Amino acid sequence: MSVKLNPEKYLRYLYLPALFGTERTKEILSVNPTIIPQRAEAQEVIVCVYNYDADHIEEKKLSCVQDAFKYKDSNRITWINVDGLRKADVEAMSNQFGIHPLLIEDILSINQRPKMDEVEGVLFCLLNMLYYNDEKQTVEQEQISIVLGKNYVLSFQEDANRDVFNPLRDRLKMANSKARQRTADYLCYTMLDLIVDNYYIVMEKLGERIESLEEEVIRKSDKRSLAKINQLRKELIVLKRNTVPVRDLIGNIIRSESDLLDDRNTKYYKDIYDHIVQAIDLGENYRDIMVSMQDLYVSNVNLRLNEVMKVMAIVTCLLAPATVIGGIFGMNFDDIPYLHNTYGFWIAVGLMLFIPVWMIWMFRKKGWF
């Protein structure tokens, strides 16, 4: 049986900055909204169209965004999903559907804060989908822009290989599903709801790591445990950065008086609001646990140090009588008691052994150890 070794997995712990993940810190904190980001053009662009009503649905995968222009004035509800962002494609799609240039800039932005805008007859939502990378044990984010217009929803995603909308696609294929019976704002609600629900999946993964790490810190506390605490706190920062603004995003939609929003669907957005508030509270609980865990680590380290000092103090005390007796009888005087006594050596050795044994008995009696 051959075993494949991965030395890089373990050798990286020999380098202290790698152990504490300082590169991850730079990645999380390197956000400057005053600098115009240079987004790399996507290698692959996938355009999927779902044009439906209560009775019929048309599902197509298009080769270019221009083929989706004909669905603008469709009498049905249309969802156009663009996976992979290219500036020319985004501008062409946005110009066709009357999206303001400021919104185009937000769609092409990087590390944008989640927000909701209502500009020139469309409702725009920008937020991040979250995924948990089991291999790297990090929280990954993917920016998504959702544009709600009259009878259509446009969504722009960065990654063409993953999203959280498969349950929605399955519902649209069911003739009696609620998604097929409702308006475009209900489709927008469903997309936002799936994004928020996926936050809980990521938080569940983080919760499992916190539980495992807590047991490790209680069982043994070393530098690796401290490094794991530090890394996990960074992932909670990513979680907080992406969940807290979504609360304001959903709240702005609920308070909006846009004609694109059906009053009958307001209660569904309130349900998302409840979910995101609960997710934020859970994230704060995780942060409190991490602070407590760090305090527990410090307490365990101090306790272990106290135990070591106690053992050393006991050993020092036990050796003190022998040191004193040996020092007294080792003095260079001609007249010392028992100096020429036949049993003088054995008496001194006996005292050196008896006094420490008596001290141990006294220490145990007083409950010092």
> Which string of DSSP letters, residue by residue, matches 326-346?
HHHHTS--S--TTSS-TTHHH
Beta carbons of 146 and 154 less than 8 angstroms apart = yes
H/E element, 116: strand 115-119
Q: Report pLDDT for 270.
A: 95
Determine whether 82 is exposed, middle or buried from the number of CB atoms within 10 Å of its CB (0-12, 13-18, 19+): buried
Per-residue pLDDT reduced to its tens digit, 185-231: 999 999 999 999 999 999 999 999 999 998 888 888 788 888 888 88
**Residue 72, token pair as written in the block:** 């603008």
Q: What phi and psi, each to the nearest 5 degrees, are found at residue 165? A: -100, 10
Output the CA–CA distances (angstroms, integers) from residue 291 to 46, 68, 199, 283, 297, in the order listed.
Answer: 44, 51, 22, 13, 10
Mean pLDDT to the nearest integer, 267-291: 94
Rounded CA gap, 112 and 106, in Å?
7
H/E element, 360: helix 344-366
Rounded CA gap, 6 and 63, in Å?
41
Indicate if the alpha-carbon torsion angle 87, 88, 91, 92 is positive or negative: negative
Per-residue pLDDT reduced to its tens digit, 298-310: 888 888 888 888 8
Per DSSP bridges, beta strands 138-149 and 122-133 are: antiparallel
Mean pLDDT to the nearest integer, 93-103: 91
Mean pLDDT to the nearest integer, 71-79: 87
Q: Report pLDDT for 199.
A: 96
Q: Locate the domains of the chain by residue range.
A: 7-300, 311-366
187 or 26, which is more confident: 187
157 or 304, which is more confident: 157
Owner of token pair 């309130």 = 270
Residue 11 binned pLDDT confidence (cut-offs 50, 70, 90): very low
Mean pLDDT to the nearest integer, 268-287: 95
Greatest mean pLDDT among 128-132, 262-266, 319-323 lies in 128-132
81 or 326, which is more confident: 81
Is the pLDDT at 143 greater than 70? The verdict is yes
**Residue 81, token pair as written in the block:** 């999903």
Per-residue burial over 174-194, b = 16 or more CB atoms within 10 Å of its CB, e = otherwise: eeebebbebbbbbbbbbbbbb
Architecture category of domain 7-300 in CATH? 2-Layer Sandwich (3.30)
Amino acid in the structure at residue 351: L
H/E element, 126: strand 122-133
Alpha carbon distance, N-terminus to C-terminus of the chain: 50
Beta carbons of 156 and 145 less than 8 angstroms apart = yes
**Residue 362, token pair as written in the block:** 């006294």
Rounded CA gap, 244 and 33, in Å?
18
Output the CA–CA distances (angstroms, integers) from residue 298 to 225, 285, 292, in the order listed.
Answer: 11, 20, 10
300 or 287, which is more confident: 287
Architecture category of domain 311-366 in CATH? Up-down Bundle (1.20)
Residue 21 binned pLDDT confidence (cut-offs 50, 70, 90): low
Please give the order of strands across the beta sheet that includes 138-149: 57-62, 46-52, 77-83, 152-157, 138-149, 122-133, 115-119
Per-residue pLDDT reduced to its tens digit, 163-190: 899 999 999 998 888 888 889 999 999 9
